[in-house]
Structures are given as C-alpha cells and as structure tokens.
Structure 1
C-alpha cells in the first residue's frame, strides 16, 4: 500500500516527440489537458536560436491520464503525428 501512495504523489511524465515548430508550452498543455489535469508542459527550445527542438515533456500527478493517452493509437497536433512515450 505504501508504494501506491508514493506513486500517486510523484509526477507521471511523458516524452512527446515530433512536435511542430509552432507548438509552445501553452499549446502542448492545451492538447494534453483533455486527458486530465496537467502538472506541467514544457517544450524544449534551442538556447542559441530560440527555435523548438521538436520535443517536450508533459507531467500529470495521476496515472489515469497517462493510461488514457496510451490507449489512443494516434495523437495529432497541428498536422504532426506525435511520438508519445513514458519518460
């Protein structure tokens, strides 16, 4: 039982690849918000150019949104099929 409580309090993270260069933190959060409460959404940007590196991370405080996300076969954001994996 102690492990279930520990998992519930830790963040459940996802790696999201193949992001369109036009997607920022807010767009990433908005897409995944439909699956559950997003703790944070972060797109990785190149420090020199300021351009998106095409991937990011999304975290949830609960495992249920992750399960719903994994059960969907395809995730499309602004025309790109996203590569979504547990981080």
Structure 2
C-alpha cells in the first residue's frame, strides 16, 4: 500500500516528508512529483512505509493535521488507471475530413 499526501507546500522536499512519516514507522520510499514543464512541485506526494499497520497509523494521525502552514490530506493511494485515449478529444473527425 502507498499513502497519498495532498495539499503539500510547494517548497517541500522529499527529506522533510520522510522525516514526518518516520515518526510512524520505517519509510521505504517518498516520491514528490514535479511538473514536467516548470520543474516545480505539484503539491502532492506519495509515501510508502514498511507495513500496512504503520501506514494506517500515519493516515489516522496526519490526515487533517497542519504542517508547514497547510492542512494535509492523507489517505490510502488509489492505483493509477490507464487511459488509452490520451488525445482528450471526442473521437469525432475534423470537419475538414468530410470530403
């Protein structure tokens, strides 16, 4: 299981997030995605702890807690769904394709 951590401050580092979750168990991994174009933190991250019981404890305590001036949203991460239609279009042809 992995933990989703939302509403993170944009200046947060993986080390700082690691330190917060280390109070609840052994941190296996911390990931904070960055925007591809700007290189800036996107305001959320993922944390994986050694055991599910450690993760449950961290979620119970940290969800809604204030950290670095922000109210954290902490819950079980949902699996990423694959989207095969990446164009975002309606699937309709361009009107120039009629003829």
Same fold (TM over 0.5): yes
The structure whose residues are more often strand, as a share, is 1
Partner Cα separation in structure 2 for residue 70 and residue 19 of structure 1: 15
The structure whose residues are more often helix, as a share, is 1
What are the within-5 Å matches in structure 2 for residues 14-25 of structure 1?
Answer: 14-25=3-14
Partner Cα separation in structure 1 for residue 67 and residue 31 of structure 2: 15
Count of residue pairs the alignment pairs up: 76
RMSD, aligned α-carbons: 1.3
Give unmatched runs, 5+ long, in structure 1: 1-11
1:56 aligns with 2:45: yes
Which 10-residue stretch deviates more, 28-37 or 68-77? 68-77
Partner Cα separation in structure 2 for residue 39 and residue 75 of structure 1: 22
Q: Which has the larger radius of gyration?
A: 2
Give unmatched runs, 5+ long, in structure 2: 78-99
